[in-house]
């Protein structure tokens, strides 16, 4: 029985102008997306990343000629690799930092002979250029899959379902169908699945066109990792569209006329897709501006200078190797300076990021905001990716320092005191032995991180279908 109604509804939709419109919009927008992605903007980002990465590798190899210099000055800048799936969800990456500085940025001399005291290297987080935008307004800038599916296809779901129940009630078709003791669940199930399938066809065709253009003319390689993420994106898209299909059938069941159903659905769709996603982040925009307390930081560092009285220290052997006592005192100062500065930078970043996350969580209360967040996570873009980038940089910081400590321990002539050139080994280390920064962008890690979002999308779809089911059971047939 369900298959009969499914086939009947599919034939009706395939012969409708709405299906033709959906097909034309899907192919046109997906083609535009593929051409835009394959153009110069993303290629410039890739080239810039490659050039920056080459300079970073050269700097790391140069510093590897002196282990002490490598340990004191740091590994240099850490760069975020552009995602190949940026055409799926741009994530407003232009407003997010593309690097983290891991470099000592200043030095000072004192009455210590030939000793130069470098500021300890820590992770310096670049500030946001402006509060990241969210919602449809920002997505008009980049026509990505978030906009095409989240905006266009959700609207098409509304247009396919607004007269699904009340339209047949007006024409008498619904009364005729149900007069034969047909289960209402079979009728509703056929309508629900038929709209999902009829939306799947133009979405799949448009997606294939987009991927073909991106694969032939864009810098993308379709590995199993990429294909796995695209498959997960498709699952998220179907769950998202299932919500609007269920919503459309529920409203159509409650309304007496198709015109009333269309007005109500367009208003609800506008609130869920346009109004809330574009207003909730704006409520917290003033909080998203970084507010680093630099005065407190400078005062703490000056207090440390007075605590260790570093300007009163004297090198009793200015012409030779400085005594271990002097190096130990300066090392203790720089290490405490590093621990404070590191904690300060991490704390300020997390404080600012919690404000950004508050806006992100508030945006997830709507299906569109949740869908946008899931796609950005699966495409390795947006705020979720940037936070993973920061976490990877912090893990690399620990790995790098352990490497310096292990290499320094092999030199019996070293003082084994970090923070100073005179406290560490001056031996050369093979450049290939120095750990390099990398991120885990595997499909498994990405999908696991978005599992909760996918489950919430499924919950939204289930609630919408149950609402449609209950509304249809209580609806009049004449």
Domain annotation covers residue 69: yes
CA distance 244 to 271: 13
Measure the N-to-C terminal CA separation of the chain; round to a whole number of Å.
Answer: 22
Rounded CA separation 474/478 (Å): 12
Q: What is the pLDDT of residue 204?
A: 96
Q: What domain range includes position 297?
A: 1-127+140-478
- Helix ranges restricted to H, 179-223: 184-217
Structural contact between residues 313 and 326, judged by C-beta atoms closer than 8 angstroms: yes
Tens digit of pLDDT for each residue in 219-247?
788 888 889 999 999 999 999 999 999 99
The Cα–Cα gap between 102 and 437 comes to: 11
Q: Supply the pTM of this predicted model.
A: 0.85
In the numeric block, the tokens 């083609």 are attached to: 31
CA dist 3 → 8, 165, 193 (Å): 9, 18, 10
Residue 132 maps to a domain? no
pLDDT at residue number 417: 92
CB-CB contact of 275 with 369 (8 Å):
no
The verdict on residue 229 lying in a domain is yes
Measured at the alpha carbon of residue 18, what is the angle toward residues 15 and 23, in degrees to the nearest 5?
90
109 closest CA partner among 337, 417, 315, 336: 315
Burial of 396 (0-12, 13-18, 19+ CB in 10 A): buried
Proportion of the chain above pLDDT 70, given as a percent: 90
Q: State residue 4's pLDDT score.
A: 82
Give 51's pLDDT tier (boundaries 50, 70, 90).
very high
> In this predicted model, which residue has the larger pLDDT, 147 or 383?
147
DSSP string of 250-316, one letter each residue: HHHHH-SSHHHHHHHHHHHHHIIIIIHHHHHHHHTGGGGS----HHHHHHHHHHHHHHHTGGG---S
pLDDT at 92 over 80: no
In a domain, 135, yes or no: no
421 in a structural domain: yes
What confidence score (pLDDT) does residue 319 get?
65
Domain tally, the chain = 1
The span from the CA of 147 to the CA of 141, in Å, is 10
The answer to whether residue 133 sits within a structural domain is: no
For residues 91 and 225, give the distance between their C-alpha atoms in angstroms, rounded to a whole number.
20
Helix ranges restricted to H, 116-164: 136-139, 145-147, 154-161
Mean pLDDT of the chain: 86
**Assigned domain for 134 exists:** no
* Cα–Cα dist 179/286, whole Å: 60
pLDDT at 274 over 60: yes
Per-residue pLDDT tens digits for 324-365: 888 898 899 889 989 998 998 898 888 878 877 777 788 788
């Amino acid at each position: 029985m369900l298959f009969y109604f499914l086939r009947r509804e599919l034939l009706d939709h395939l012969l409708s102008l709405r299906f033709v419109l959906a097909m034309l919009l899907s192919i046109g927008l997906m083609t535009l997306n593929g051409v835009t992605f394959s153009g110069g903007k993303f290629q410039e980002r890739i080239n810039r990343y490659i050039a920056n990465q080459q300079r970073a590798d050269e700097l790391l190899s140069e510093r590897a000629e002196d282990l002490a210099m490598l340990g004191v000055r740091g590994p240099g800048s850490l760069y975020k690799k552009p995602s190949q799936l940026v055409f799926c969800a741009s994530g407003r990456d232009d407003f997010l930092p593309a690097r983290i500085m891991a470099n000592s940025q200043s030095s000072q001399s004192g009455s210590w002979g030939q000793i130069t005291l470098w500021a300890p290297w820590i992770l310096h987080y670049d500030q946001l250029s402006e509060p990241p935008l969210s919602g449809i307004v920002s997505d008009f800038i980049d026509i990505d899959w978030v906009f095409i599916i989240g905006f266009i296809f959700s609207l098409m779901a509304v247009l396919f379902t607004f007269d699904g129940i009340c339209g047949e009630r007006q024409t008498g078709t619904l009364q005729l169908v149900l007069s034969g003791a047909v289960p209402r669940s079979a009728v509703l199930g056929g309508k629900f699945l038929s709209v999902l399938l009829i939306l799947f066809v133009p979405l799949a065709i448009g997606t294939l066109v987009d991927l073909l253009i991106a694969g032939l003319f864009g810098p993308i390689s379709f590995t199993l990792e990429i294909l796995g993420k695209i498959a997960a994106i498709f699952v998220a898209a179907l769950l998202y569209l299932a919500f609007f299909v269920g919503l459309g059938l529920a409203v159509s069941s409650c309304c007496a006329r198709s015109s009333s159903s269309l007005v109500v659905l367009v208003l609800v769709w506008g609130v869920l897709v346009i109004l809330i996603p574009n207003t909730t982040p704006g409520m917290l925009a003033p909080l998203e501006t970084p507010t680093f307390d630099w005065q407190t930081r400078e005062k703490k560092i000056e207090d440390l200078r007075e605590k260790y009285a570093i300007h009163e220290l004297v090198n009793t052997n200015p012409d030779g190797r400085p005594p271990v006592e002097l190096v130990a005192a300066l090392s203790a100062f720089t290490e405490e300076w590093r621990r404070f500065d590191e904690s300060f930078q991490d704390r300020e970043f997390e404080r600012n990021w919690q404000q950004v996350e508050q806006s992100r969580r508030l945006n997830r209360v709507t299906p569109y905001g949740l869908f946008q967040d899931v796609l950005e996570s699966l495409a390795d873009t947006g705020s979720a990716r940037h936070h993973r980038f920061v976490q990877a940089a912090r893990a690399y910081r620990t790995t790098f320092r352990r490497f310096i400590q292990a290499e320094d321990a092999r030199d019996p002539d070293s003082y084994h005191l970090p923070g100073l050139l005179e406290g560490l080994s001056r031996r050369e280390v093979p450049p290939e032995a120095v750990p390099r920064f990398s991120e885990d962008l595997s499909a498994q890690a990405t999908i696991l991180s978005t599992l909760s979002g996918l489950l919430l999308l499924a919950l939204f779809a289930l609630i919408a279908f149950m609402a449609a089911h209950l509304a249809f059971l209580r609806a009049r047939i004449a």
